Amino acid sequence: MTGFRPIDRRTVLRGMGTAMALPWLEAMAPTKALGSVISSVDPATPPVRMAFLFIPNGVHAPDWKPTGIGKDCTLSPMLSALERHRGDFSVLSGLGHLNARALGDGPGDHARSSACFLTGAHPVKTDGADIRAGISVDQIAANHFAGRTRFASLELGCEPGLQSGSCDSGYSCAYSANVSWRTPSSPMAKEINPRLLFERMFQVGPRGESATQRAERMAQRRSILDYVSHDAGRLNKQLGLRDREKMDEYLDGVRSIERRLEVVESVDQNPEAVAGMKTPTGIPADYREHLRLMHELMVLAFRLDLTRVCTMMWANEGTNKTFPFLDIPEGHHHLSHHKGDEGMIEKIRRINQFQSSMLAELLDLMAETRDGEGRLLDNTMLVYGGAISDGNRHNHDDLPIVLAGGGGGAFAGQGHVQFPAGTPLCNLYLTMLEQTGVSLDRFGDSTGTLSGLS
């Protein structure tokens, strides 16, 4: 025992151009001698993670809010899928984004919504190269965590991250297609392909691999586990029983994601490829599967401490995505302009119910994922919502915002929290930054931090 040395936290499994990160293992904990006894020191407090999930086109606001205030509120049917996580989230009412309003710039609420969502800034109205919004809250946190993880942040989505063109009444597509901004004039490119995200996370493939070489590698259908099997076997001999069980669970989970990616990439699951279209390999045709894969990879990145900050655009603002699995052939944006048509409103309700069900699935996954002595959900601050409230009105006050996760002990599910009308959403972001150790006097149009969330 006197020669025991803990495994370095940054140990990876290597093999044939692959570097596979490991979850936290007991063997990574430092040890200290107490007389003749060697005892394990408790692992460091798990880090706090931040996740921001953006939904487009607002919601049907009259049916969004819970009835009543506090933990005993009654969730609306639109949010009923979250009931099983009652103790892990709060619906926040009264928060708004002043800078998403026109402020003299005329139409373009969709572009302003996404551009302002995480920046709190009023974007310059242009469809040229002179775009300008603000630095987003996720990037401020990413700068704070820089150097501690492989990726300072991950930017994910399900629709392409456009950087130019005109998308909304004279506003650049860069505003509608991005929520994460590194500088006021530089949005962060987002990854929408689960396969490419998977390979980026695990550094699959040798450096400088050509497109032809990658195609040949993909054709072999070899698992990442094949590449690292020798290293994994060597490591396994150094682990105790509980660590071996953790490793088996982890490797099984990685292989499960791989298998699902392989199904997505098969011709049978890709009718567009059959028609001769160049559909990017790895992007599911089924939107539900696309969301699930991106969420699972985000959770895996958090679990492996590859990053502590992530944004995820479920779709670009103003999207006209259809929902055939809900028997809704009309586009989302079109339906949001319902002008009181009850048939269109009912379809928007169903879309919003679907969205909350997908959020509930993500919270399931985060609650099931162990993190230190607790759950990943306990150590995460997750914001779900957008900067348009009612899709028909295009208003930017009383936004649909859900805050989930414990934030390392800072937050607890409060059911429904009502803030005074006009409270800046940026107050929430300032509160979250404070929990990560970032001290700012002001962010965006903030007026202070929020209370009543714990």
Q: Are 348 and 391 in contact (CB under 8 A)?
A: yes
Q: What is the pLDDT of residue 352?
A: 98
Give the pLDDT means over successive 10-residue stretches in the chain (454 positions): 60 80 78 39 74 98 96 96 97 98 96 98 96 98 93 96 88 96 97 93 71 63 81 86 87 88 66 42 89 97 95 97 97 96 97 98 96 93 97 95 96 97 97 94 96 93
* DSSP characters over 265-330: HSGGG-HHHHTT--PPTT--SSHHHHHHHHHHHHHHHHHTTS-SEEEEESS-TT----BGGGTB-S
The full set of domain ranges for the chain reads: 1-44+204-278, 48-192+283-435
- Helix (H, G, I), strand (E, B), or coil: what is residue 116? helix
pLDDT in tens, 250-266: 889 888 988 888 888 77
pTM exceeds 0.85: yes
- Helix (H, G, I), strand (E, B), or coil: what is residue 42? coil
Nearest to 236 by CA among 3, 13, 8, 10: 13
For residues 105 and 103, what is the distance between their CA atoms, to the nearest angstrom? 6
Query: Which of the following CATH numbers is that of domain 48-192+283-435: 3.40.30, 1.10.3470, 3.40.720, 3.30.70?
Result: 3.40.720
Q: What is the pLDDT of residue 220?
A: 62
Nearest to 397 by CA among 411, 384, 386: 386
Q: What is the pLDDT of residue 239?
A: 87
For residues 385 and 180, what is the distance between their CA atoms, to the nearest angstrom? 14
Q: What is the pLDDT of residue 22?
A: 85
User: Which regions of 240-389 does DSSP assign to beta strands (E)?
Assistant: 309-313, 370-371, 374-375, 380-385
Which secondary-structure segment (H or E) carries 264? helix 241-265
Q: What is the pLDDT of residue 264?
A: 81
